[in-house]
Amino acid sequence: MSFDLVLFGGTGDLAWRKLLPALLQAHRHGSLPAGGRIVGVARDDLSDAQYRDLIRSRFEGVEGDKQPSEDEFARFAELLHYQRMDLTQPADYQRLKDRLAERNADVVVMYLATAPQLFTVACEQLGAAGLATPHTRVVLEKPLGHDLQSNRAINAAVRGVWGERQIFRIDHYLGKPSVQNLLALRFGNALFEPWWRRETIASIEITIAERLGVEKRGAFYDQTGALRDMVQNHALQLLCAIAMEPPINAHADAIRDEKLKVLRSLVPWTDAALAQNVVRGQYGAGQLAGEPVRAYRAEDGVAPDSHTETFVALRAGIANWRWAGVPFYIRTGKRLAAHEAHIAIHLRPTPHPIYPTPLVCGTNRLVIHLQPRDGLALHLLAAASETRGVRALAEAPSLTPVQLDLDFQQRFGAERVGAYERLLLDVIAGRLNLFVRADEQEAAWRWVEPIMQHWDAQNARGEGPRPYAAGTWGPGAASALVARDANTWLEEC
């Protein structure tokens, strides 16, 4: 199958850091279909050769198995081409159409790795130029809008050009091997289904922590914030994977139907719940790995009086029979103490304990590690071996925490398919299972929008985000949030 992948924003940060390295890995693995062509599109004035040199420089200094050999990159470079375009100029779309007509590939993928405000004009111009054909697919990067209204406007413009089955709204967390294993864990093993419910599970924690700050994305991030950047998409998609009912099959719409039910079942916000169950923070100066780091407001591109949140912690609930009364804690932030993402499922204690148990929070829990480690650990209690004297037969043995640990990288090898590699291959093949449907996005925006409105009202009163020092786990109010339910975050156990 021949394909053309047109990468709008072909010299941008996302293409540089994620997309082109993922395509190179797919080519190295032999999974990229033969007869392909990658056309980078941007406003820079480059030739094909200059574009190839630019992408080659991306891998200078890369260590380990991510570093391609000269021969490997030379073969990959044969796929790389470049087209200078101004996305607001209709004549440039006609030139792109002429270039694509040279091959008439079986599949054409339009990947919009651009600023979201360009999605509408790009789609409308692609349609006007006759580039939205039945064998064309469009990929939309997050964030898709900045609120419910803008999300609906973008989706309406895109659906005016393409059918829903041609639209691939990407969330790279859904392509992570660990998230795929979460679905396999739930729906491929009979062991877990009987206790995957409120009667057995006491609480669930989703943490996505980053040690990095905003880096070179200060201007973008200051208009976005952690809620839009991480919670509305990544965190809620993880929540759906944990909480959804078993789909009738593994087809795309069956899975997405069940995720939508979860989003629609989230307990809606009230003023009292917003005040008590949502914490926002912003990092100040601090230290990471012994090195001083500057405050968020001192970052390039950030307003010196910014109220943009770099940290969010919240308590959510799901109003259905499976999850009624189970708190779901979501936490994400920048400049935190670790680079780590995990899902911790804390089980209820035994109804009638007959052994003395150690004072360990969430004594029985399942922890699904997403990054940097990829695996899962089941935390249990076992009888401690006795090495000092003989115990009375009538005395119950003491228990000690133990864990069953599975490291997916060790089990399956380091050359596993990465998130973007998997998703790009799925786009080319036309598989929609790991992509987000429009009604899912709308439901997610509808749930988070009251939080944004609550913060706007706080800002108007001069109440900004809570400060926290870089290198910590965020504001102290985040610990108080879970402590009200007699719970703790995983690192506090």
pLDDT of 390:
52
Terminus-to-terminus CA distance in the chain, angstroms?
52
Is 92 annotated as a binding-site member?
no
Distance separating alpha carbons of residues 267 and 92, to the nearest angstrom: 47
Distance separating alpha carbons of residues 484 and 108, to the nearest angstrom: 53
CA separation, residue 384 to residues 181, 357, 359, 360, 388 (Å): 32, 11, 15, 15, 12
* Residue of 112, 18, 7, 13 lying closest to 420 (CA atoms): 18
Is 352 annotated as a binding-site member?
no
- pLDDT tens per residue, range 273-325: 999 999 999 999 998 888 899 999 999 999 999 999 999 999 999 999 999 99
Is 86 annotated as a binding-site member?
yes
**R_g (Cα) of the chain, nearest Å:** 24
Distance separating alpha carbons of residues 151 and 153, to the nearest angstrom: 5
Delimit the domains of the chain by residue range.
Answer: 3-169, 174-417+437-492
Fold for 174-417+437-492, please state it: Dihydrodipicolinate Reductase; domain 2 (3.30.360)
Mean pLDDT per 10-residue section of the chain, whose length is 493 residues: 94 90 92 93 94 90 73 93 95 95 93 89 95 95 89 93 95 86 87 92 97 90 95 96 94 95 98 97 92 95 96 98 97 96 92 74 84 88 66 63 84 75 95 95 97 96 96 97 94 86
CB atoms within 10 A of CB 75: 14
Peptide bond into 143 cis (omega under 30): yes
The pair of structure tokens assigned to 191 is 């062991």
> Which sequence positions are flagged as catalytic?
234
Fold for 3-169, please state it: Rossmann fold (3.40.50)
Is 388 annotated as a binding-site member?
no
Peptide bond into 246 cis (omega under 30): no
Q: One-letter amino acid identity for 367? A: V
Is 229 annotated as a binding-site member?
yes
Is 176 annotated as a binding-site member?
yes
